[in-house]
Amino acid sequence: MPLFRSPRLPEFSTRAQIALLLGVAVLLFCGSFGLPLIDRDEPRFAQATREMMERHDWIVPTFNGEYRFDKPPLTYWTMAVFYALGGINELTARLHSIVSTVALGFVVWGMGRKWFSAGAGFAAAFSLLTSLQILLHGRLSVADMPMVLAVTVAQWALFDLLTDDSAEGDKKRRGRLLTLYFALAAGFLAKGPITLAVPVVTMLLFRFVFWRRQEAWGRLKIGQGLLLVLLVIGLWGIPGLIKTHGLWWSVGMEKHVVERGLEPLNSRAYFAPYYLCTAFLSFFPWAALFGYVIVLLQRNWNRQNAFLFSWLVAPYLIFAGYATQLPHYILPAMPAFFLLLGQAPGLAAPLPRWPRIVAWTVCGLYAALFLFLHFVVLAAPWVQPYLPLREALIGLSIVLAGGITLIYVYETDRLRHAVWAVILIGLGFFLIGVGFRPLLPALRIAQIEADFAARTGKHPRLVAQGFAEGSLVFYTGRHWDFVPTPDDVNKIVAAADAEHPILAVTLENEIHIDTALKHFFQGLGHGTKPSSEAQDLKKKIEEQALYVEGVHPGIVFTGTAPTGPNGEVYTYKFNEYETVSGINFARASWVKLRVIVRP
What is the SS3 assignment for 509? strand
589 beta partners: 512, 584
As a whole number of angstroms, the distance between CA 189 and CA 192 comes to 6
Q: Are 280 and 362 in contact (CB under 8 A)?
A: yes
Question: Smallest Cα–Cα separation from 315: which of 125, 151, 472?
Answer: 151
**Residue 148: which residues within 8 A CB-CB, separation 6 or more?**
100, 104, 331, 332, 334, 335
φ, ψ (nearest 5 deg) of residue 567: 85, 5
74 beta partners: none
pLDDT band with cut points at 50, 70 and 90 for residue 361: very high
Residue 488: count of CB within 10 angstroms of its CB: 16
Say whether pLDDT at 559 is over 50.
Answer: no
Share of the chain above pLDDT 90, in %: 67
Question: Smallest Cα–Cα separation from 599: which of 448, 452, 443?
Answer: 452
As a whole number of angstroms, the distance between CA 131 and CA 111 comes to 18
What is the SS3 assignment for 586? coil
595 beta partners: 505, 578
Residue length of the chain: 599
Say whether pLDDT at 531 is over 80.
Answer: no
Output the pLDDT for position 236.
96
Q: What is the DSSP letter of 386?
A: S
Output the pLDDT for position 330.
96
Using one digit for the tens of pLDDT, what is the confidence trace for 158-206?
999 999 888 787 889 999 999 999 999 999 999 999 999 999 999 999 9
Say whether pLDDT at 528 is over 70.
Answer: no
Is residue 194 exposed (0-12), middle (13-18) or buried (19+ Cβ within 10 Å)?
buried
Output the pLDDT for position 585.
87
pLDDT, mean of residues 250-263 = 72
Which has more confidence, 473 or 263? Answer: 473
591 beta partners: 510, 582
Residue 302: count of CB within 10 angstroms of its CB: 13
Residue 565: count of CB within 10 angstroms of its CB: 7
**Residue 42: which residues within 8 A CB-CB, separation 6 or more?**
93, 140, 141, 142, 470
Residue 518: which H helix or E strand, with range?
Answer: helix 513-525
Q: What angle do CA 341, 135, 359 make, to 5 degrees?
A: 40
Output the pLDDT for position 534.
47
Q: Are 508 and 584 in contact (CB under 8 A)?
A: no
Q: What is the DSSP letter of 483?
A: -
Say whether pLDDT at 400 is over 50.
Answer: yes
pLDDT band with cut points at 50, 70 and 90 for residue 374: confident
Residue 219: count of CB within 10 angstroms of its CB: 19
As a whole number of angstroms, the distance between CA 151 and CA 122 comes to 20
As a whole number of angstroms, the distance between CA 269 and CA 263 comes to 10
State the alpha helices, DSSP H only, in 4-117: 14-25, 42-55, 74-86, 90-115
pLDDT, mean of residues 123-134 = 97
Say whether pLDDT at 2 is over 80.
Answer: no
- At position 593, the amino acid (one-letter code) is L
Question: Smallest Cα–Cα separation from 79: which of 158, 14, 140?
Answer: 140
Q: What pTM was computed for the model?
A: 0.90
Say whether pLDDT at 10 is over 50.
Answer: yes
State the alpha helices, DSSP H only, in 90-209: 90-115, 118-129, 132-137, 144-163, 167-191, 194-205
Question: Smallest Cα–Cα separation from 311: which of 294, 329, 332?
Answer: 332
* Of the candidate ranges 134-138, 172-176, 269-273, 572-576, the one whose mean pLDDT is the lowest: 572-576
As a whole number of angstroms, the distance between CA 190 and CA 142 comes to 9
Using one digit for the tens of pLDDT, what is the confidence trace for 262-284?
676 666 777 889 999 999 999 99
Output the pLDDT for position 383.
73
pLDDT, mean of residues 235-245 = 94
Output the pLDDT for position 576.
57
pLDDT, mean of residues 476-490 = 94
Output the pLDDT for position 299.
95
Averaged pLDDT of the chain: 87
- At position 223, the amino acid (one-letter code) is G
Output the pLDDT for position 548.
30
Q: What is the DSSP letter of 250?
A: I
463 beta partners: 481, 504
Q: What is the DSSP letter of 504?
A: E
pLDDT, mean of residues 506-534 = 64
Output the pLDDT for position 550.
34
Output the pLDDT for position 492.
92
Say whether pLDDT at 120 is over 90.
Answer: yes
Residue 271 Rama label (left phi>0; alpha psi -120 to 50; beta): beta
Give per-residue burial for 330-343: e unless 16+ CB within 10 Å, then b. Answer: bbbbbbbbbbbbbb
pLDDT band with cut points at 50, 70 and 90 for residue 350: confident
Give per-residue burial for 76-115: e unless 16+ CB within 10 Å, then b. Answer: bbbbbebbeeeebebbbbbbbbbbbbbbbbbbbbebbbeb
What is the SS3 assignment for 413? coil
Say whether pLDDT at 571 is over 70.
Answer: no
pLDDT, mean of residues 502-522 = 80
Question: Smallest Cα–Cα separation from 38: which of 86, 77, 84, 94?
Answer: 94
pLDDT band with cut points at 50, 70 and 90 for residue 545: very low
Pairing of strands 3-4, 502-512: unpaired
Q: Are 75 and 144 in contact (CB under 8 A)?
A: no
Q: CA 125 → CA 87, 138, 561, distances in Å?
A: 31, 14, 57
Kindly report whether the peptide bond that precedes residue 345 is cis, defined as omega within 30 degrees of 0.
no
Using one digit for the tens of pLDDT, what is the confidence trace for 295-310?
999 999 999 999 999 9
Output the pLDDT for position 266.
60
Torsion of CA 200, 205, 207, 210, to 10 degrees: -150
Output the pLDDT for position 435.
92
* Of the candidate ranges 14-28, 36-50, 501-515, 539-553, the one whose mean pLDDT is the lowest: 539-553
pLDDT, mean of residues 327-333 = 96
Using one digit for the tens of pLDDT, what is the confidence trace for 20-70?
999 999 999 998 988 999 878 999 999 999 999 999 999 999 999 999 998
